[in-house]
Structure 1
């Protein structure tokens, strides 16, 4: 891929005008390739995949391979390129590592997905008899990991953080007879490090 871009037989992408060209990224167990949405470049990528298969003995799983296009590409061109590659076109509902592959400008759909994911986890734990230590572990190990990953990928509106904080706070203090228990300590204090008297949330 790199040689093809250097020889200008493939076109990668640039984040900004003077940035180096990016032809591919290796992320988690996946490979992401960037090329122009043309029949010529689609054919060249397919040839590169074939060379890789012949040399490595590994086979590209086209059933698990998808292609995503920028907004300027027409539907006919999308179908043509995807057909040449033998892969499926990504749709708006598709997810990658638990997050949507495409988001609206308002990010309402994205915030709803993350909130619902966290809410379902917390609801599932509410039926369990948990000590404060157990709740602390679940919040730190599971709930916060969901949020940390999402927030490392997307920038959320500030009011969304308040909503998430409220969900976790309600889970921490618990519910009695359908009513939220009294929060005896400010959540800001609980978020402080343990050496400062907090719990490090």
Structure 2
């Protein structure tokens, strides 16, 4: 990916005028590529994936692979590029690493996610044979640690 960017075969995205260009994000076995919606860049991504498969001996699971486009890309171009890549088109990526990929001004989505996670954890403890003090310690530990990951990425509203 870096070589393709350096050679100008792929162009990433910038979040603002002075920000660096981001062409890909990698985490464990998850990858996100950011490119322009052109035949040339789709071909470049396909070539990179095939070279990766050949070099590593691992195969990209196209059943778990999706592509999404920005609003300005026409429908016909979207379907042509998705077909060329051999992957499914989705309107938008719902979540990545457990968090929503698109968050607007309202952070209600984030606070709802945190509340839901905490509620699910608490439900699981109902049957545990812990003393009241033990449950309190467990609750405080989990309640304090759950938002840490979210807060490392998003600014959480003060009233939460």
Please, what TM-score do these two structures have when normalized by structure 2? 0.80
Contact 1:63 1:87 in 2 (8 A): yes
Deviation at 1:95, TM superposition (A): 2.5
Distance 2:93 2:32 in 1: 19
Q: How does 1:1-201 map to 2 (within 5 A)?
A: 1-91=1-91, 94-131=94-131, 132-140=133-141, 142-159=142-159, 161=160
Aligned to 1:199: none
Distance 1:89 1:72 in 2: 15
- Taking a change above 3 Å as real, the CA distance of residues 52 and 93 of structure 1, as seen in their structure-2 partners, is closer
Distance 1:104 1:19 in 2: 20
- Taking a change above 3 Å as real, the CA distance of residues 90 and 48 of structure 1, as seen in their structure-2 partners, is same
- Taking a change above 3 Å as real, the CA distance of residues 85 and 18 of structure 1, as seen in their structure-2 partners, is same
SS of the residue 1:32 aligns to? strand
Contact 1:92 1:100 in 2 (8 A): no
SS of the residue 1:25 aligns to? strand
Aligned to 1:164: none
Distance 2:86 2:145 in 1: 36
5+ residue gaps, structure 1: 162-201
Distance 2:126 2:107 in 1: 29
Deviation at 1:91, TM superposition (A): 4.4
Deviation at 1:22, TM superposition (A): 2.4
Deviation at 1:105, TM superposition (A): 3.5
SS of the residue 1:158 aligns to? coil
- Taking a change above 3 Å as real, the CA distance of residues 40 and 28 of structure 1, as seen in their structure-2 partners, is same
Stretch moving more, 124-133 or 147-156: 124-133
Deviation at 1:36, TM superposition (A): 0.6
Distance 1:69 1:93 in 2: 10
5+ residue gaps, structure 2: none
Distance 2:158 2:5 in 1: 40
Which structure exhibits the higher relative contact order, with contacts defined as CA atoms closer than 8 Å and separated by 6 or more residues? 2
- Taking a change above 3 Å as real, the CA distance of residues 147 and 85 of structure 1, as seen in their structure-2 partners, is same
Deviation at 1:92, TM superposition (A): 5.1
Distance 2:144 2:29 in 1: 23
